[in-house]
Structure 1
Amino acid sequence: MGQVTVRVGGYSHPVSCEDGQEAHLVALAAEVDKRVNSIKAMGGQFGESRLLLLASLLLADEVHDLKVAVAQARTGGAGAAEAEDPRLAERIARIADRIEGIAANLDRA
C-alpha cells in the first residue's frame, strides 16, 4: 500500500493509497489546495475543517456542473440534465451533511 504526505491549506496530511496511485493522489490534493487557497483569498477566518468543507462543496459544485454538461451533450439538450438535477441536489446535500459531520469531529480532535 502506497503512502504519501499531501499539503492542503498549509497543513500536511499523510494519506494511504493503492500502489502506483501516489502521483494521482498528490494531484487531487493540489486541486483541493487550490480551492482552499481561493477561499482564503476571499478573506475571513476559517478553521481547517471549515476550509476543507467549503473546498469540498466547491468541488462538488464543479462535479455537478460537469455531470449536467455531459448529460446535455448526450441528449443534445437540457431535458436529461433537468431530470437529473433533483437527484444530484439530494446527493450533494447528503455529501454536505457528511462533510459537516467530519468537520465537527475534526474540530473536537
Structure 2
Amino acid sequence: MAELRITIGGRDFDVACQEGEEQYLKAAAAMLDNEAQALSVQLGRIPEARMLLMAGLMLADKAAGAEDNVRVLSARVEELERQLAVARSNPVKIEVPVVPPAVTETLAEIAARAEALADRVEEAVSA
C-alpha cells in the first residue's frame, strides 16, 4: 500500500491507497480541496468534519449533475445511432443526370461550324 499526505481545506491528512492509484487519489483530493477552499472563503474556519461533509456534498451534487448529463447524452447518442441504422438500411438513391448523346453530338457540330466560320473570317481579313 502506498501512503500519501494530502491537504484538504488547509488541513493535512495521511491516507493509503493501492500501488499505482496515487495519481487518482491526488486528483480526488485536489477536487475535494477545491470545494473545501470555496467553503473556507465563504464561511471562514469551520470544524473539520463539517468542512469535509459539506465539501463532499458539493462534489456529490456536481457528480449527480454530471450523471444526469451523461444519461441525457447517452439517450441522444442512442437516438442518433438508431437514426443512422435506419438511414443505412434505407439508402437514398441519388440520380446523376447524364447528357444524352444527341446533345453532345449537336454541341460538337455547332463547335465545328463555329471553327469553320472563324477560319473564313480570318481568310477574309487576310485577303
TM interval, shorter chain, is 0.5 to 0.7
Residue matched to 2:43: 43
Residue-by-residue CA offset, 1:12-59 (whole Å, 9 max, x unaligned):
111110001112211211110000000111134421110111100000
Task: Work out which of the two has the higher radius of gyration on C-alpha atoms and give 1 or 2.
Answer: 2
Deviates more, 1:19-28 or 1:51-60: 19-28
Q: Give SS of 1:42's match.
A: helix
State the distance in 2 between where 1:60 and 1:43 align: 20
Residue matched to 2:114: none
Residue matched to 1:31: 31
Cα 1:45/1:10, change in 2 over 3 Å: closer
Corresponding residue pairs, total = 76
1:94-109 → structure 2 map (5 Å cutoff): none
Matched, 1:59 2:63: no
- Structure 1 segments of 4+ aligned residues over 3 angstroms from their partners: none
Unpaired segments ≥5 residues, structure 2: 77-127
RMSD over aligned CA atoms reads 1.2
Query: What is the letter of the counterpart of residue 20 of structure 2?
Result: G
The TM-score, its normalising length taken from structure 1, stands at 0.65
State the distance in 2 between where 1:45 and 1:6 align: 19
Q: Give SS of 2:43's match.
A: coil
State the distance in 2 between where 1:60 and 1:13 align: 21
Q: Give percent identity, aligned residues only.
A: 30
Residue matched to 1:68: 68
Unpaired segments ≥5 residues, structure 1: 77-109
The TM-score, its normalising length taken from structure 2, stands at 0.56
Name which structure has the greater RCO, CA cutoff 8 Å, separation 6+: 1
